[in-house]
Amino acid sequence: QVQLVESGGGLVQPGGSLRLSCAASSGSSFIINAMGWYRQAPGKQRELVAAITSGGSTNYADSVKGRFTISRDNGKNTVYLQMNSLKVEDTAVYYCNAVARLLVTSRWRDYWGQGTQVTVSS
């Protein structure tokens, strides 16, 4: 199994910034392909916020373009989400997602973090 642990969430005022981190680890050697950040607000469906491939290609939800930046450090098996100019509507639980496989297998699968709360409020 591959574990994903998010950190960096919290309470921030509109216009503020937060940086989320997600570190992947396993008891066995593993390979990560794409990684992404999803979010889910109460009563709403989970949505993709940003994604990044192993080569660094990125894509973003239209609602966050120009404000959020996704990046990764492959050596540290970590993906980041820099969130600037935060809005109230960004409030949600943010989940890290990774497509990964153990080195001893050929099966790729999705892994999910436990989520970190981001609250934007004045």
Residue closest to 11 by CA, chosen among 121, 94, 115, 87? 121
Each residue's pLDDT tens digit, 4-50: 999 999 999 999 999 999 999 999 999 999 999 999 999 999 999 99
- The reported pLDDT for the residue numbered 76 is 93
- Torsion sign over Cα 93, 17, 51, 60: positive
- The reported pLDDT for the residue numbered 32 is 96
Each residue's pLDDT tens digit, 40-88: 999 999 999 999 999 999 999 999 999 999 999 999 999 999 999 999 9
Q: Compute the distance between CA of residue 75 and CA of residue 105 in angstroms, rounded to an integer.
A: 21
Please answer whether residues 100 and 24 qualify as being in contact, where contact means their C-beta atoms are separated by less than 8 angstroms. yes
Cβ count within 10 A of residue 11:
12
